[in-house]
Amino acid sequence: MCKRIWSITLALLASLLLPRELSAQKNVADQVVWMVGDEPILLSDIEFQKLRMRSEGIRLQGKPDCFIPEQLAVQKLFLNQAKIDSIEANDSQIIRSVDAWLENVIAQIGSREKLEEYFGKKISQIREDERKQARNSDIVRAMQNKIVQGVQVTPSEIRAFFASMPQDSLPFIPKTVEVQRISVLPEVNLEEIDRVKERLRGFADEVNSQKKSFSSLARLYSEDQRTALQGGEYGFVGRGSLETEFANVVFNLSDPKRCSQIIKTEEGYHIVQLIEKRGDLVNFRHILLRPAVDEKGINAAQTRMDSIVTLINDEKLTFEAAAELFSEDKDTRNNGGLMINKTQGSDFESSPNFRYEELPQDIARVAYELKPGEQSKPFSMRQPNGQTEIVIIKLKQIHPEHIANMNSDYRVIKAMALQKKREQVLDDWIRRRQKETPIKIYSSYTDCDFKYPGWVRSDS
């Protein structure tokens, strides 16, 4: 499939930038070697990128000392324009990416303590440094999206793009499946909900009376694994990143020493403590508890699902009609139960096609044993938010692996043609902006064979 090499490389480099102290550990002198507008590029940044990319086995064509600084310079062009256009980052996505990065690095290095020793900083500072760099990466992507947002391809352009591709370069389309699902959620009994609420009230009383700290309670008891180890700290987010009811409570908090009322969300029940407000952003701690579903609730949900299966098997309802009437999966019930691929970066993102590995593991395991048109028996699985659900699935269709053609793969070919056109628009934008931006470049880089030769100027 067509790969988004240039934009992916930009995002990769932006996300890989780490605190300069690490470069100092490598005994690389910090000196400014490029200036793009008023943004400097340091020698330590370039040297660190070489080390990091080598450690990850990334092979670069040409000279890394030329390729890497050019990528950093291109990033600066986008960041400079983003300031002018007031482009903001997606704070909730940044939090998730930083958490994933930290988990991966800690797993590789062995422990949080070793990570702190390696960087010479506390984990909180490491997180903040990485957050700043991830924010740059997110802003670059947002700026690129703004530049290409109006770009479209016509049917004639799609046909011309496909006709121009050599036969031996036509993309290979892997085997994919389309899956429908119906979900029933077990009901939680009122006694369990009352137990969870009473426990949260107890936590709030201990915090409000200053008997215990919110962060210590969060570490011990919160069921949000993403934030529990950080004492429940969520990180700065905007209102749009939170569920409406949750946001209404959090953004109205004013006393950092007291807990909020109990808040119900799809995740469960929460109490919250304000840390800091910064403009339209807020940082807070929270404790999440999820009511447990007992065997009685699961058995009742299983009985409801058995009744749905009987209606379908007796041909009193189609699978699609049953999904619309009974399914509690809000993402699929209005679409006849048909699942949509939400795997970021997948060639099939936003389509009903999935590789087996892109399906939720429990669904993939069941779907693999079905033939097209077959329906599964009911089975239980856990949602990402921890809820148990009873599910049946139907394997709607299997698309065998094949070489792309216009008849069956028009959507894929259209996406490839559109991506090529957008890359050309970005390429043209970079060349124009390069000419308009004041640039100073250290003399040792003037002999590089750059993709964009305009970096080297007579006054550099």
What confidence category does residue 335 fall into, taking pLDDT thresholds of 50, 70 and 90? very high
Non-local CB neighbours of 16 within 8 Å, separated by 6+ positions:
49, 52, 53, 133
**Rounded Cα distance, 429 and 72, in Å:** 16
Q: Are strands 237-238 and 281-289 parallel, antiparallel or unpaired?
A: antiparallel
CA torsion angle 250 202 289 269 (round to 10): -40
Distance CA 119, CA 106 (A): 12
Q: Is residue 124 part of a domain?
A: yes
- Domain co-membership, 30 together with 143: yes
**What are the tokens at 378?**
């009911």
pLDDT at 26: 41
Q: CA 172, CA 165: separation in Å to the nearest integer? A: 13
Q: pLDDT digits over 145-185, tens only?
A: 999 999 999 999 999 999 999 988 888 999 999 999 999 99
How do residues 174-223 score in pLDDT, each as one tens digit?
Answer: 999 999 999 999 999 999 999 999 999 999 999 999 999 999 999 999 99
Among the candidates 249, 271, 289, a domain finishes at 289
The enclosing domain of 336 has a CATH number of 3.10.50.40
Written as six digits, the tokens of 281 are 């952003």
- pLDDT at position 61: 67
Same domain, 112 and 232: no
Give tens-digit pLDDT for 398-434: 999 999 999 888 888 998 999 999 999 999 999 999 9
Tell whether the model's pLDDT for residue 18 goes beyond 50.
no
Shared-domain flag, residues 46 and 123: yes
Lowest-confidence region among 224-228, 357-361, 454-458: 454-458
> Quick one: pLDDT at residue 48?
66
Give the CB-side neighbour count of residue 204, counting CA atoms within 13 A: 20
The alpha-carbon radius of gyration of the chain (Å, integer) is 26
The rounded distance, in Å, linking the Cα atoms of 188 and 293 is: 5
Q: Containing domain of residue 16, as a range? A: 5-152+418-455
Strand partners, 39: 36
pTM: 0.64
Tens-digit pLDDT profile for residues 345-378: 788 888 999 999 999 999 999 999 999 999 999 9
List the end-to-end C-alpha distance of the chain, in Å, as a whole number.
Answer: 40
269-280 pLDDT, tens digit each: 999 999 999 888
Query: Domain tally for the chain?
Result: 3
| 283 and 318 co-located in one domain | no
% residues pLDDT > 70 (the chain): 89
CB 155 within 8 A of CB 417: no
Tokens at 415, concatenated: 């996406």
| Nearby residues of 379 by Cβ (< 8 Å), 6 or more positions away | 362, 366, 390, 391, 392
Measured between alpha carbons, how far is 359 from 370 in angstroms, rounded to an integer?
Answer: 14
